[in-house]
Chains A and B, each alone.
Chain A
Amino acid sequence: MEYVSPFDERRRVPEPLAPRPASLAGARVALLDINKRRGDEFLDRIEELLRARGAETSRFVKQIFSKPAGPEIVRRIADRGDLAVEGLAD
């Protein structure tokens, strides 16, 4: 019996991961706060640790945690960062 699938059967090729940097010294790290409670506290501490290892950090905040980041914020992160850290959940 032949059935009609409810699924979108397109096979998608995963995006390759960027090469891992050898060192954090001098790396530009974008820190994305998804705008959920206490995400900023987590990122404050991560930022401190990254800076202590010589990284240069910049902070971004999503408009709302439950929606995908807008293309503009993704573009800014891609332009200004070598690495990105996203702080999730409560």
Chain B
Amino acid sequence: MSIAAPAFSLASATGGSVALAELHDDGPALLLFVSEECPTCTLTLRRLAPHVSEITAAGLRVVAIFEDPLEVAARVARRTGFAGLVLSEPSPYEVSRAYELQSLPTAVLVDRDGSQSARVVGWDAEALETLLSVALTDEPPRRKPGCAAKSTYDAAALRELDAAGELDELEDMFELGWTDGLPVTPPTRDRVAAMLAGRDPDELLGEMPPAMARVTLERVAACSVLAGCRPEYFAVVAAAVQAVLEPGFNVGGQAVTTQPVGQVVVVNGPVRDVIGLNGSVGALGPGWRANMTIGRALRLVISLTGGGFPGRLDRSTLGNPGKLGLCFAEDEEASPWEPLHVSRGYDARQSVVTVFGADAPLSISDHRSTGPEELARVLGEAAGATWSPNWWPLGGTSLFVICPEHARSFAEWGWSKSRVREAMFGAVSRPAATLRWGETTPLVQSADDDRPIGKWSSPDDIVLVVAGGEAGRFSAVFGPCLGMDAEAISKEVPWNT
């Protein structure tokens, strides 16, 4: 007497749901009940995988039904090379119960009329060969018992299992390589749509080297979700991406070079307060979501979308922690000077992102200087060793982050920002002969011994921004990005957040 196969409708890895009736519509179907946790199931999938197209061509539909969430099912199918239809059965596994499964894997042959005509339990190569009319590998084991079906678990065990299953989505991201090495937020359609907030997902911002990938707003949104951004940060991420895509930034060179160069994002204007971007205590470090995630989103656009992934096309010898992402606000309110974006030609009321190619920051402690010349010299001399202690002039931009106490001292001494920069430029100079060792610049090699050589070609190569906690006299300088013709680039934040 034939037993009717219980009907079901289950989610498919290729989208939508599939009903049993569709599966045996025009021929028999093999339902292979499996689970990620069962090694015999993965063995079975792996061993059947090379034969799926042959079996399908012979008119038998091969369907894996996973007692796992869909993303886990898709991952296991990908890993085992199983190319048949992949369905996911949700907890508490009613379909498995209806089929009275005791263990996995269980293969059930459903005939065209919807009746169950055969069943193979566990990995049994000989039985499957007979059932499917194929020659499977002779490699041992030819027989292997499976594991208990989840439908046989008691309610408490199922609850524990479901709670653990929530982590699989995060593991999926590592499996796909959609990460910088830290856990990410999976970019589901809903999350990406929330990030886009109705903007055109196909809007093209440019092509990102080295992969020359089309950088659409949707991909930037996916990276922003992965990085953990809130939707209100998205406009700032988009501005940063637009900035690095400017040819003058040479992001292609920066993405692949052996230098440990990362991209530093400085934000000015009202958007800082809207999104809670920190420019005060601990501005260059962790603790603030906007700071951590905006810089990270930009880096993910470069390293994932653009293909500049560390160890692959990114050949940075050492890397630097800033390559995870580095974004901070200028503390315009604590600064006695005009903010960076105003120096670069914007109105103070505009929200502007400025990106720099830069090495890791070097801290500069000075608690004792008694005059502006002395403090300017301390700050400047600290940059003397950046890139290399004898590579003068740098031929690139040095970004200094001046702490509020240092900035306030300069203000009390009546020094403008440009006067500080000129004093720093003038203070850092050496006779050419003292720099002629190791690898040095063509200028030093050809200059007369006594000719003074500065660390910079012009005071314009010194950029000062103010950030940091109100107490403490620690400023910092970022080592430059050289050999790239890389300019700092500013972009106005393209829409209100």
In Å, the complex CA distance between A3 and B170 comes to 12
Minimum CB–CB distance from B194 to chain A (whole Å) comes to 11
Contact A6 B485 (CB under 8 A): no
- Give A64 to B186 CA distance when docked, in angstroms: 39
A53-80, CB under 8 A of B: which get 1 and which 0?
A: 0000000000011111000000000000
Q: A64-B485, A67-B252, A67-B253 are in contact. Are A7 and B186 (CB under 8 A)?
A: no
The reply to whether A7 and B305 form a contact with Cβ atoms under 8 Å apart is yes
| B386 at the binding interface (Cβ < 8 Å) | no
A-B Cβ contacts below 8 A, count: 70
A32-57 interface mask toward B, CB cutoff 8 Å, 1 = contact, 0 = none?
Answer: 00000000000000000000000000
Report the minimum CB–CB distance from B73 to chain A (whole Å): 10
Measured CB to CB, the nearest residue on chain B to A36 is B483
Q: Does chain B have a CB within 8 A of A23?
A: no
- Beta-carbon contact of A7 and B188 below 8 Å: no
Q: How far is the CB of A6 from chain B (nearest CB, A)?
A: 4
**Residues of A within 8 A of B (CB-CB), count:** 14
Scan residues 1-15 of chain A and give those whose CB is less than 8 A from a CB of chain B.
Answer: 1-8, 10
Question: Could you say which residues of chain B place their CB within 8 Å of the CB of A2?
Answer: 15, 188-189
- Most chain B CB inside 10 Å of its own CB: which residue of A2, A4, A7: A4
Alpha-carbon separation in the docked complex, A64 to B218 (Å): 33
Inter-chain contacts of B187 with A (CB < 8 A): 3-6
- The complex places the Cα of A55 from the Cα of B187 at a distance, in Å, of 55
A65 CA to B70 CA in the complex, in Å?
Answer: 47
Distance, CA A86 to CA B214, complexed state (A): 28
Pair A6/B69 contact, Cβ less than 8 Å:
no
> If the complex has contacts A1-B71, A2-B189, A5-B222, are A10 and B253 also in contact, measured as CB distance less than 8 A?
no
Q: Which residues on the A side are within 8 Å of B176 (C-beta)?
A: 3
Interface membership of B250, Cβ < 8 A: yes
User: Across the interface, which residues of A come within 8 angstroms of B226, CB to CB?
Assistant: 6
B483: chain A residues at CB < 8 Å are 64-66
Selected from B15, B70, B169, B222, the residue in CB contact (under 8 A) with A6 is: B222
Interface hits, B171-213 → A, CB 8 Å: 172, 176, 178, 186-189, 192, 209, 211, 213
Q: Is the CB of A1 within 8 A of B186?
A: yes
A7 → B minimal CB distance (Å): 6
Contact size range, B: 35 or more
A63, closest chain B residue (CB)? B485
Residue of A nearest to B14 (CB): A2
- A4 and B218 within 8 A (CB): yes
Chain A residues lying within 8 Å of B169, measured Cβ to Cβ, are 1
Q: How far does the alpha carbon of A8 sit from the alpha carbon of B225 in the complex, in Å?
A: 17
Contacts of B218 in A (CB 8 A): 4
Cα–Cα distance between A7 and B15 once the two chains are bound (Å): 20
Question: B334 an interface residue at 8 Å Cβ cutoff?
Answer: no
How long is the Cα–Cα vector from A4 to B226 in the complex, in angstroms?
10
The interface residues of chain A lying within 8 Å CB-to-CB of B70 are 1
Q: Report how far A10 CA is from B485 CA in the complex, Å.
A: 30
Query: A67's contact among B219, B223, B250, by CB below 8 Å, is which?
Result: B250
State A7–B226 Cα separation when bound (angstroms).
12
Does the CB pair A10–B214 fall under 8 Å?
yes
Bound-state Cα–Cα, A8 to B204, Å: 12
The reply to whether B252 and A68 form a contact with Cβ atoms under 8 Å apart is: yes
Q: How far is the CA of A64 from the CA of B396 in the complex (A)?
A: 15
Q: Which residues of B contact A1 (CB under 8 A)?
A: 69-71, 169, 172, 186, 188
B243 within 8 A of A: no
Q: Considering the chains assembled together, what is the distance between the CA atoms of A6 and B221 in angstroms?
A: 8
Which of chain B's residues have a CB closer than 8 A to the CB of A68?
209, 252
| A26 CB to nearest chain B CB (Å) | 36
Check if A8 sits within 8 Å of B211, measured CB to CB. Answer: yes
Q: Is B257 on the interface with A (CB-CB < 8 A)?
A: yes
> Within B301-331, which residues are at the interface with A (CB < 8 Å)?
301, 304-305
What's the Cα separation between A3 and B169 when bound, in Å? 10
B300-A6 in contact (CB<8A)? yes
With A6-B305, A7-B305, A8-B305 in contact, is A66–B189 under 8 Å at CB?
A: no
Q: Hey, which chain A residues are within 8 Å of B484, CB to CB?
A: 64, 66-67
Closest to B178 in A: A6
CB of A4 within 8 A of CB of B221, answer: yes
By a CB distance below 8 angstroms, the chain A residues around B304 are: 6-7
Docked CA distance A66–B396 (Å): 14
Using A1-B186, A3-B186 as known contacts, say yes or no to A66 and B253 having CB atoms under 8 A apart. Answer: yes
Q: How far is the CB of B303 from chain A (nearest CB, A)?
A: 10
Enumerate chain B residues within 8 angstroms of A3, measured Cβ to Cβ: 172, 176, 178, 186-189, 222
Which residue of A8, A64, A66 contacts B219 across the interface (Cβ within 8 Å)? A8
Chain B residues whose C-beta falls within 8 Å of the C-beta of A5 in the assembled complex:
178, 187, 219, 222
Q: Are A66 and B250 closer than 8 Å at their CB atoms? A: yes
Let me know if B485 and A67 touch, CB within 8 A: yes
**B209 and chain A: residue at smallest CB distance:** A68
CB distance from A51 to the nearest CB of B (A): 30
A3, A8, A68 pick with most chain B CB within 10 angstroms = A3
Known: A4-B188, A5-B219. 5 other contacts (CB 8 A): A1-B172, A4-B192, A5-B187, A6-B305, A7-B219
**9 residue pairs A–B, Cβ–Cβ below 8 Å:** A4-B188, A4-B218, A4-B219, A5-B187, A6-B187, A6-B301, A8-B213, A66-B253, A67-B485
Closest 7 pairs between A and B when the two form their complex, measured CB to CB: A66-B253, A8-B213, A4-B192, A6-B222, A4-B222, A6-B304, A1-B71
